[in-house]
Amino acid sequence: MKKNLEKIIVGGIIVLSFLLKVYGLGKAPASLGFDEAGLGYNAYSILKTGRDEYGNFMPLSLRSFNDYKPALYAYLSIPFIAVMGLNEVSTRMVSAVAGTVSLLFLYFFLKEFVKNKNLRYFVFLILVFEPWRMHFSRVALETNLSACFFVMGAWFLYKSRNLIKQKKSIFRAILVPICFGLAAYSYHGARAAAPLLIFLFIFDPLRLFFVKNFKNYKNWLIKNRIKYLWLLVFLVILISPVFLANKSSQVLTRLRQENVFNRYYPFTSSEILAKGKSVWLNTTNNPVYYFLGIMSGHMLSYFSPIDLGGRVYSWVKQSVQYIPSFSMLNWAESIVFVFGLIYLIKEIKINLKNRYLIYWILAGAAPAALTWTWFHPLRSLNLFPAVELIVALGFVYLSKFFNKIIYFGVIGLSALSILFVVINEYGYSVAISHGEYQPGSFKEGVPTLTKLQDNYDQIIIDSPHAQSYIFFLFYQSFDPKIVQSYADKRPAPGIEGNLNFDFYKYKFAKYDWPNQKNESKILIWTTSEVKEDEIKNTPGTNIIWFGNAVNDKVTAIITKD
Amino acid sequence: MQNIILSAFKSLSYPPTEDQLAVIGWFFNNLWILRIFSLTILLATLYFWYKTIIKLIGKTVALISCLIIFLTPTFYILWLTSPIDCLKIFLLIFLVFILNKNTKHFGKLALILGSVYIILFSFWTTTERSSFVHKLGLKEAKTELKLRFVAEDSLTDPVKVPLKIKRIVYNKYYIEYKELVNEVIPFFDMESLFFQEIHPLEQKSVVIFVWPEIFLLIGGTYSLIKSKNKKISSLVWMTLLLSLINFLFDPFIIFKKFELILFPLSLIMALAVSNIYKTKILFGKIVGFIIILFCLYGTMANFSDLNKRPNFWLDNRPYFYEFVFDSIKKKDINKFEKIYVTSLVGKTNKYCKYYFGTCDENKFVFNSFELKGAKPAKNSIYAGFAGEFIGSDFKNNINSDWLSLIKNEGFINIVTKDLRDTIAYKFGNYVVVGEVK
């Protein structure tokens, strides 16, 4: 009965979480971001033709916006798109499911770290409704799928820590590279994070601080750890096709675009560098000092409570990862995290269990740390379950000081905070972040455009979005075969910026009414300033306005017969 | 000799701050006497801190802790620019020392008395209030609540949530809780504490600790937790909580909000340094010494940087006034009927008194001015930002031809200075002093 009680409670929380994740999935966030639309449309294209939008047969990476997205998310979306059609819900469903499945493994970990059952249920309930869990599961993001496989891999790796003696352990150990491999096929970051975590798990470098000399460490390593190296080898073999199938330089496109070395070189401010000699020979303000500082800061920012629970950087605000009112954790939890860290540091010597959380965060942060951004949740999502486990340790630490009144107070406040997270995600978050990165009006306007377009010879698209073509493909489930036939005419791999291309009747051009009004059988989609009177005075014209999620008059369809 | 020192330590020629002007008016006639006084009381603070720790844990840790504080750029900038803060810190640490010396369980008492002292001091010495104090009423919570409802009501196709359920958290009390917790979270701002040298937001402030010191903090935390000396933990927790109180109530720039945290964190780091020396674990010793070397290099690098470009690290308003009044001084002011000096960036009259001794109220006008579309008064000097001469711009984009435009207005003998950091947003970065005949 007691075992069933646990299953009922945990199962109940997970089911509730899933229901809240999928409730209103098509409306919040208000409309799709271009990456979401890219994933959805490519999944649709593969479903219909077996090829992506460029005509590549069953690709491992989607060329998409020349960013070579890992393709697993798109493949897993195919059944949902086949059943529900191509829309917001079917595109986001994989993320919602992945976010839910990962909770089960979070609970497995909690069982290891929080022994008191009641406290564990309470902590689990809080963690299930962390802002990032609600938000990232409601957006089609490869990284959320990757985080799900990553936590599974991390769990099986953790469970195989006591040597591979029993058959059960061997089975678990085989699942390690498989799960990590799936994570790597879901998101770029896991291709570095997963091998690194296995490496840190094997070599346990923090152990060096607790053994008297290197010889002891070396002996321990040879005796106990080297046997795990096959996990690393197996994983590398598993993920190598992704590099071999495409040119590896193409797969590393994102890293080349975003890496820390290009952006910050020469690391020391040019104002204080001594002139006339090599940058690296500067004695008072040597670049090595600042470079190491940047790298340390990038890694340690994932341990910084203000980054976890308060501060929102501009590069986060301008993207789909932005959660208005929050950073990643709920406010109180980011403070509890500090106590978790204290507890972790206290127990760090005891066994690998505690050090494992540190390795997990470091491995998860490493790919993001190589890019120029300081704290980037999207690129480091794999590490957040470890952050949550440290929060759980914080609750364990603080619970010693709780009396009944404090307990009730904490439970009450936490319940309110959970409710706030959910309501915020359904309402305020949608109203605030409906802008450029989750553009509106395509959702509202494209169905009308689809109905009208057969009557016109040319469709002019005037849009500020560099990848707006994808919304026209997505929202009308455009025939992939037609799109594939334009593959040769599209911007070549490596090109960034405006990736729109002319196809079918569509032409991407600026709104220029004085010239365009003289054409016939033309339809114009524009977000530029339109003088309505001037248009209506031209014979044979009509104008239809579309608003976005907050009812602004932002897009016009002008028809000229 | 003086010139050699000043060129090597450019920051020493930093002009007086408003804080210093206030105190100069009261007791001191000379900026350097005031600075030496500030340094003396900060050194006395270190002495009492040393005495407090020595009683609890010993000489080595006490000495290292004081050395760490002494070497921080914050310590240097405090005595160079902020006499009132020096006094505040001195009195607090003296209080901790006295209580530690005379009472058995000094932690709680020091916490209560120290908190009261910090709050009263912040209310007594300035009329400015911190954002935490502003949020203590429900007024801001009500405003935010209204904004949230307006934002959500603007959605054309919202996800339905019954209003009754919404109201459970969309009420002024819960929003107040949210606001207050959000004031506490920045206390755990690792970037401002340890990564100011390479701050991701390019935030203007002074380095509190150099980045390698974060590793000393981690090692020190381990040493502190493992230590059986409860008194030292008690001192750390007490001073951390006092730092939090100061952080919440101090309305000024971030390094001043964090000024008290120098003490507990330096103590934790001192434990790490002491253990690096003592440990028999080879790896720990090697890594520890490398970190210490990096800390020392970082300290040197920061002092070098601070003295190469003090205008990058320090508040630029004193530079503004130094330039303006030095430029005016070079002119024969008796020839002019009026001298207009902008008050956009501070208390101009106080600076005027500092640079001129007395400022004739009939001659000097301390106010922001707007000369676009108006003719400047004849036989006058104007000193202000370019935007005040040719018109401000909402985005601080001042016409690149601003100097010619000012000359066209009839200004002659114009001197200008480019000040970084946009201290007078909308009015451009150029300071202009010009005459009209």
3-state DSSP assignment of residue B380: strand
Which of A269, A290, A423 is nearest residue B161 as measured by Cβ atoms? A423
String of DSSP letters for B239-288: HHHHHHHHHHH--S-HHHHTGGGHHHHHHHHHHHHHHHHH---HHHHHHH
**pLDDT band for position A560 (cuts 50, 70, 90):** confident
Cross-chain Cβ contact B222/A348 below 8 Å: yes
Q: Let me know the angle formed at the C-alpha of A383 by A380 and A389, rounded to the nearest 5 degrees.
A: 150
The residue among A447, A195, A417, A453 whose CA lies nearest residue A325 is A417
Cross-chain Cβ contact B155/A301 below 8 Å: no
Lateral strand order in the sheet of B338-341: B364-366, B338-341, B380-385, B430-436, B411-418
- pLDDT > 90? residue A464: no
Minimal-distance CA residue of chain A relative to B279? A212
Q: Which range (A67-71, A121-125, A256-260, A394-398) has the least confidence?
A: A256-260
Cross-chain Cβ contact B300/A284 below 8 Å: yes
Residue B22: per-residue pLDDT: 86
Q: Which residues from A are below 8 Å from B272, CB to CB?
A: none
Q: Give residue limits of the domains in chain B.
A: 15-134+182-311, 317-436
Residue A550: per-residue pLDDT: 83
Which of B189, B283, B297 is nearest residue A289 as measured by Cβ atoms? B297
To the nearest whole Å, the CA of A20 is away from the closest chain B CA by 11
8 Å CB contact between B340 and B381: yes
- pLDDT > 60? residue B190: yes
- pLDDT > 60? residue A164: no
- b/e for A365-399, b at 16 or more Cβ within 10 A? bbbbbbbbbbbbbbbbbbbbbbbbbbbbbbbbbbb
Q: Where are the alpha helices (DSSP H) in B103-171?
A: 106-125, 131-134, 139-153, 163-169
Residue A2: per-residue pLDDT: 67
Residue B1: per-residue pLDDT: 59
Interface-testing mutation among A268, A285, A328, with chain B (most B C-beta atoms within 10 A): A285
Q: Which residues from A are below 8 Å from B169, CB to CB?
A: 416, 419-420, 423
- pLDDT > 90? residue B9: no
d(CA B165, CA A65): 42
**Residue B367 dihedral angles phi and psi, to the nearest 5°:** -160, 155
8 Å CB contact between B418 and B428: no
String of DSSP letters for A389-454: HHHHHHHHHHHTT--HHHHHHHHHHHHHHHHHHHHHHHTHHHHHS-STTS--SHHHHHHHHHHHGG
- pLDDT > 70? residue A254: no
**pLDDT band for position A532 (cuts 50, 70, 90):** confident
d(CA B387, CA B114): 46
Give the count of beta carbons closer than 10 Å to the beta carbon of residue B70: 14
Minimal-distance CA residue of chain A relative to B192? A306
Residue A247: per-residue pLDDT: 61
Q: Which residues from A are below 8 Å from B173, CB to CB?
A: none
Q: How many CB pairs below 8 A link A and B?
A: 168
A346-369 pLDDT tens trace: 999 888 889 999 999 999 999 999
User: Average per-residue pLDDT in chain A?
Assistant: 90
To the nearest whole Å, the CA of B413 is away from the closest chain A CA by 30
Residue B408: per-residue pLDDT: 86
**pLDDT band for position B410 (cuts 50, 70, 90):** confident
What's the Cα-to-Cα distance from A221 to each of A47, A211, A227, rounded to whole Å? 48, 12, 9
Using the Cβ of A432 and the Cβ atoms of chain B, whether some distance falls under 8 Å is answered with yes
Cross-chain Cβ contact B190/A331 below 8 Å: no
Mean pLDDT for A258-279 is 83
The pairing of beta strand B338-341 with beta strand A458-462: unpaired
- pLDDT > 90? residue B195: yes
Minimal-distance CA residue of chain A relative to B170? A420
Ramachandran quadrant class, A404 (left: phi over 0; alpha: psi -120 to 50; beta: rest): alpha
8 Å CB contact between A476 and A446: yes
Of the two residues A435 and B144, the one the predictor is more confident about is B144
Cross-chain Cβ contact B154/A551 below 8 Å: yes
Residue A294: per-residue pLDDT: 95
- b/e for A227-259, b at 16 or more Cβ within 10 A? ebeebbebbbebbeebbebbeeebbbbbbeebe
- pLDDT > 80? residue A249: no
d(CA A4, CA B231): 47
- pLDDT > 80? residue A99: yes
To the nearest whole Å, the CA of A345 is away from the closest chain B CA by 6
- pLDDT > 60? residue A248: no
The residue among A32, A37, A205, A122 whose CA lies nearest residue A409 is A122
Cβ neighbours of residue A549 closer than 8 Å, sequence gap 6 or more: A30, A31, A430, A431, A434, A440, B155, B156, B157
User: Average per-residue pLDDT in chain B?
Assistant: 91
**DSSP character at residue A371:** B
Identity at B226, one-letter amino acid code:
K
Token pair of B146, please?
């209204």
Chain A segment 312-331 residues within 8 A of B by beta carbon are 313, 325, 331
Which of B152, B185, B222 is nearest residue A428 as measured by Cβ atoms? B152
Residue A515: per-residue pLDDT: 84
B273-322 pLDDT tens trace: 999 999 989 899 999 999 999 999 999 999 999 999 998 999 999 999 99
Residue B85: per-residue pLDDT: 95
Cβ neighbours of residue B161 closer than 8 Å, sequence gap 6 or more: A423, A426, A427
Which of B152, B184, B284 is nearest residue A335 as measured by Cβ atoms? B184
Cross-chain Cβ contact A430/B158 below 8 Å: yes
A184-221 pLDDT tens trace: 999 989 999 999 999 999 999 999 999 888 888 999 99
Ramachandran quadrant class, A127 (left: phi over 0; alpha: psi -120 to 50; beta: rest): alpha
8 Å CB contact between B220 and B272: yes
Residue A110: per-residue pLDDT: 97
Which of B174, B195, B281 is nearest residue A211 as measured by Cβ atoms? B281
- pLDDT > 70? residue A12: yes
What residues pair up with A560 in beta bridges, in sequence order? A522, A541
Residue A165: per-residue pLDDT: 58
Residue B7: per-residue pLDDT: 64
Token pair of B382, please?
């104007």
Q: Which range (A256-265, A284-293, A378-387) has the least confidence?
A: A256-265
Residue B96: per-residue pLDDT: 94
Token pair of A458, please?
């040319």
Question: B353 burial class (0-12, 13-18, 19+ CB within 10 angstroms)?
Answer: middle
Indicate the Cα dihedral angle B145, B148, B153, B154, nearest 10°.
140
Q: Which range (A271-280, B41-50, B291-300, B353-362) has the least confidence?
A: A271-280
Which of A305, A426, A550 is nearest residue B161 as measured by Cβ atoms? A426
Residue A62: per-residue pLDDT: 92
Residue A436: per-residue pLDDT: 67
Residue A41: per-residue pLDDT: 97
- pLDDT > 60? residue A163: no
Angle between helices B172-184 and B139-153 (to 10 degrees): 110
Token pair of A151, please?
């936590």
Cross-chain Cβ contact B225/A313 below 8 Å: no
B32-78 pLDDT tens trace: 999 999 999 999 999 999 999 998 888 999 999 999 999 999 999 99
Residue A338: per-residue pLDDT: 96
Cross-chain Cβ contact A209/B181 below 8 Å: no
Mean pLDDT for A19-45 is 94
Using the Cβ of A261 and the Cβ atoms of chain B, whether some distance falls under 8 Å is answered with no
Residue A484: per-residue pLDDT: 96
A469-524 pLDDT tens trace: 999 999 999 999 999 999 998 988 877 788 999 998 999 999 888 888 888 889 99
The residue among A150, A61, A102 whose CA lies nearest residue A367 is A150
8 Å CB contact between A421 and A330: yes
ipTM of the complex: 0.92
Token pair of A49, please?
């033709």
Using the Cβ of A241 and the Cβ atoms of chain B, whether some distance falls under 8 Å is answered with no
Q: Which residues from B are below 8 Å from A346, CB to CB?
A: 222, 225-226
Mean pLDDT for B391-396 is 84
- pLDDT > 80? residue B421: no
Minimal-distance CA residue of chain B relative to A421? B169
A330-342 pLDDT tens trace: 999 999 999 999 9
8 Å CB contact between B367 and B340: yes
Which of B159, B195, B308 is nearest residue A297 as measured by Cβ atoms? B195
Residue A384: per-residue pLDDT: 97
Interface-testing mutation among B198, B223, B293, B305, with chain A (most A C-beta atoms within 10 A): B198
Residue A339: per-residue pLDDT: 96
